[in-house]
A and B are shown apart, each in its own frame.
Chain A
């Protein structure tokens, strides 16, 4: 996507603020700080250099040290009071919402909590409030984190979506938070495949002596392949539960909506369908209906 003018201006204001606080800074450091190329930083500095107060005489312009510029270092000589501007409501909700989801999954690094505290004060946007997060117990998370860091395998108890308890040895690669739920990406030695396991379904976790031998998978989270195509007909009011599934297409059929999508994890999709079950008209194929029936039976057996 092409860069918006507002993105570029926000970065240029940021460059001036950063230089005011940190003094002469190599272009490379600015590039890393703002997540753009060195070439883009050079262009930004050049644009800042010809900008300034109306009149645009030499003394009116933002000024940099020309000798250092030739060495790819930015040093501000005159900033004319230019500085970064406060957060917009849109920016604040996008950043706080993301951080909140990380925290809500219960596995975010400790720094996420302190960053949230500082940002809430600084963003100062009214009418947005965040709830107290869940926490994954330390006896699960502690050994997982240590094992990832030290590249050791772990032994863990796991309760799967069908309530089967297994003990597995996995090679942990990364913790991911997907929509506020925490997962472990790992190589499962028993299944001999990459797995994404829900951390809140893990019991005792124990770090083993042997090393991680597999490389992490490239895909984040749902690295499972699409296994079959599904077609679900539902009332329009239930559309929200499936409209964000990857690759979903929706079309109207009379008063109903027909959704088609690829299914990687039938239990996951069945969970979604359960939450709007009274408004689901039909489910194809048989495999997804079975997954739905298994979960529904399990719920009814528990909730007798």
Chain B
């Protein structure tokens, strides 16, 4: 059979495996699915081995592509046919659920798909948009007076989300919040928490034998998966802090200059005024995130309590003064 486009082969593989009554073995796939080359008779042993290896490589790549597309590939062992593994796709499990988006919702999802400045994450977001668009009515071609761009984004969240789904351990370099030092962490990932600018991973730190929360932006370089799928169970409920595996919720009292710090104001509960400052109580999980938020307001906000957080803000400002003396 003539060489065909990889996309065409992948499409035919999906159709064949979805329609397979029980399963298809590798040999059956190679024989019958358009795009794979069946082994012709009368080849030398060497040539046959070369073609076998080429088929195996191609099939492994296609399996990776199916996984990347989100298609659950079942492996089926049929005891009456020896131990050879067969494959199938369960159509009811693979099919996308209907999403009934209004035209306005579809427009804003299309805008979100362009959010990432990172090429790899952007590609995944656009592929997600393709799926959303295939289950929705016509997409309005309107220009919204609104745009969005990410500042920080990396492939790390993709690898972590996939690893959580497959229960696969990960390894990465991490910059500690407290010491400023870098170390290698091996983690069984449980949970991703997505805030506005920051994302947090919760999981079991294998070397410490304890649950830990990591700020994704402090992961340096690539996240690599290690070991097999299904390597651990995610505890239920998660042991760290609150009910969803995050740090426990705490309350800070923050003073804000009038008409500034709207984000904090809106999240918080008013707690009076103090010498011209508005005081609000703000719930937070991650002290470093609140500290950075207060620092970024450049004097338009201060921490009233806890004292520890106020001290961190001061320490950072003093350190900045020190370094700014040159």
Contact = CB atoms under 8 A, between A and B. Distances in A.
Nearest to B160: A93
Contacts of A99: 108-109, 112
Interface stretch (B46-54, B78-86, B254-262): B254-262
Contacts of A193: none
A131 B197 CA distance: 11
Interface in B46-93: 65, 67-72, 91, 93
- Interface range for A: 35 or more
Nearest to B119: A1
A102 B94 CA distance: 29
B175 interface: yes
Interface string A263-274: 000010011011
Given A56-B34, A95-B128, A175-B145, A14 B134 contact: yes
B207 to A, nearest CB: 18
B240 to A, nearest CB: 13
A97 B33 CA distance: 37
Given A80-B19, A85-B95, A220-B147, A14 B105 contact: no
Contact of A86 (B96, B137, B180): B96
B109 to A, nearest CB: 5
A58 interface: no
A102 B115 contact: yes
A112 B80 CA distance: 53
Contacts of B318: 296, 300
Interface residues of B, number: 141
B14 interface: yes
A50 B34 CA distance: 10
A295 B182 contact: no
Interface of A: 1, 4-15, 17-18, 21-22, 29, 32-35, 47-48, 50-56, 80-102, 104-109, 111-112, 114-115, 118-119, 121-122, 124-137, 140, 145, 148-149, 157, 159, 161-163, 173-181, 199-204, 220-221, 235-240, 243-244, 267, 270-271, 273-283, 286, 289-290, 292-293, 295-303
Interface of B: 5-8, 10-12, 14-16, 18-19, 32-34, 65, 67-72, 91, 93-102, 104-113, 115-116, 119, 121-135, 137-139, 141, 144-153, 157-158, 160-162, 164-165, 175-176, 179-182, 189-199, 217-220, 234, 244, 255, 257-263, 265-267, 291-292, 294-296, 298-303, 310, 313-321, 323-326
